[in-house]
Amino acid sequence: MSCATHLACFACAKRYPIDRLINLCACGKPLRVEYDLARAARELDRDDPARYRSLGMWRFRDLLPVPRDTQPVSLGEGNTPMPAAPELARQIGVSRLWIKDESVNPTGSFKARGMSAAVTMAKHLGAGKLATPSAGNAGGALAAYAAAAGLAAHVFMPRDVPAANRLECELFGARVTLVDGLIDDCARLLAERKAAEGWFDVSTLKEPYRIEGKKTLGYEIAADLGWRLPSVIVYPTGGGTGLVGMAKAFEEMRTLGWVTDPMPRFVSVQAAGCAPIVRAFEAGLPEAARWEGAETVAAGLRVPAAIADFIMLKVLVDSHGTAVAVSDEDMVQAARVLSAATGICACPEGGACLAALRGLRWRGWITQDDRVVIFNTASGLKYSEAWQAERRAPRGANQ
Ligand SMILES: Cc1ncc(COP(=O)(O)O)c(C=O)c1O
């Protein structure tokens, strides 16, 4: 069974049926999937061993919106490792540190989770052609899952996107449009053409299912920690699907009675060259203005404006969290430390989390008692431009 009942707007709570293709609420804001959690609490056993026979993130399919008789479009996403890093924890000065390593997903990034859910639902609800703007990894994931589903994919990417992201899209047979601009320019071009082309838009939080895939991050973290929650989660934030999805997962699990720990304090990490959420959080604003002139080697963080800005900022405030910007130099250097210390192939976004953790510990915002999860959201192998740029940069300036 799936316990999903309907969709509801994140902003105005207007309800929609769950059995048709839809993007945003009539008010222009994102929709979320609602569940009958009372029924789920009665009927689901969080430790049900049968669940582990399902592949990867689909072991939580009762809490995903896909009907039982629908086969998920899956390439084996989720169920990623979360090794402890005791030596790094000791050096930084926290009681426990885990690294959720999303680099081992299909297409080498955590975008696989969201696209597995979104493509499954789009196919189930009758879409034939899917389109997305992408700063990099989402495009590759859409291309792969559309290929697996036998659907057409069209990806709009900035012209200077990492080469690996463009190549993977092409390899999976997606049509790629390179745009002179950033991801929101890509989104604008897509929006202009989608009606005439018959594309279903699977942009971040412009359809309700990518966050459902991402929310499995939260379920996996809790399950891996024996249904305990960490006290802090440090997450590299662009469009915000992971942050919003995990907060939703923890809320659901608390309602289900699967966890009793308080909501972890969320830390949103952004690049110093593109930090709209950090700027808004620091100013105490409920929404974030567009960041002009966005620039960073962390392609996934080059998101100057996000439709879920108000949801992310509320998650940060409600969880007593914070938001931190990290320079490119620091994140690349930290990615090297993370890789060399753990054997995990860290991306700049993963390095940004480690650098943010160090800074927050130094400032005392994170304490010795904290139990911290940081994210490596993609494989460093997709970022050859970032490592080459670092080799060319003069050493010492930021050390
Ligand atoms: C490697 C990587 N990390 C983090 C992000 C940001 O993800 P989110 O949209 O969940 O904020 C992205 C998004 O493109 C990404 O590719």
Q: Is 347 in the pocket of ligand 1 (CB under 6 A)?
A: yes
Q: Is 242 in the pocket of ligand 1 (CB under 6 A)?
A: yes
Name the residue with the closest Cα to ligand 1, atom 15: 300
Name the residue with the closest Cα to ligand 1, atom 6: 238
Paired tokens of 12: 């105005």
Residues of the chain with pLDDT under 70: 52, 393-399
> Which of the listed residues 161, 235, 303 should we mutate to test ligand 1's pocket, taking the one with most ligand atoms within 8 A of CB?
303
> Which of the listed residues 301, 326, 331 should we mutate to test ligand 1's pocket, taking the one with most ligand atoms within 8 A of CB?
301
Q: Is 380 in the pocket of ligand 1 (CB under 6 A)?
A: no
pLDDT reported for residue 30: 98
Residue 12 to residues 31, 111, 277, Cα–Cα distance (Å):
10, 27, 22
Which ligand 1 atom sits nearest the alpha carbon of residue 239?
9
pLDDT reported for residue 399: 37
d(CA 38, CA 362): 43
What are the sequence ranges of the domains in the chain? 86-109+208-392
Name the residue with the closest Cα to ligand 1, atom 16: 300
CATH architecture for the domain at 86-109+208-392? 3-Layer(aba) Sandwich (3.40)
Can you state the angle between helices 210-224 and 111-124, rounded to 10 degrees? Answer: 130
Sign of CA dihedral 234, 223, 248, 258: negative
Name the residue with the closest Cα to ligand 1, atom 14: 300
Burial 280-319 (b: 16+ CB within 10 A, else e): bbeeeeeebeebeebebbbbbbbbbbbbbbbbbbebbeeb
Write down the H helix ranges in the chain: 37-43, 86-92, 111-124, 137-149, 163-171, 183-197, 210-224, 241-256, 276-282, 309-318, 328-342, 348-363, 384-392
The partner residues of 234 in beta bridges, in order of sequence, read 267, 374
Which ligand 1 atom sits nearest the alpha carbon of residue 137?
16
Q: Is 114 in the pocket of ligand 1 (CB under 6 A)?
A: no
Q: Is 137 in the pocket of ligand 1 (CB under 6 A)?
A: yes
The tens digit of pLDDT for each residue in 197-246 reads: 999 999 999 999 999 999 999 999 999 999 999 999 999 999 999 999 99
- Pairing between β-strand 31-35 and β-strand 4-9 as defined by DSSP bridges: antiparallel
Through-space distance between the first and last CA atoms of the chain, rounded to whole angstroms: 54
Q: Is 204 in the pocket of ligand 1 (CB under 6 A)?
A: yes
State in Å: Cα 204 to ligand 1 middle.
Answer: 10
pTM of the model: 0.96
The tens digit of pLDDT for each residue in 263-297 reads: 999 999 999 999 999 999 999 999 999 999 999 99
d(CA 319, CA 298): 26
Q: Is 102 in the pocket of ligand 1 (CB under 6 A)?
A: no
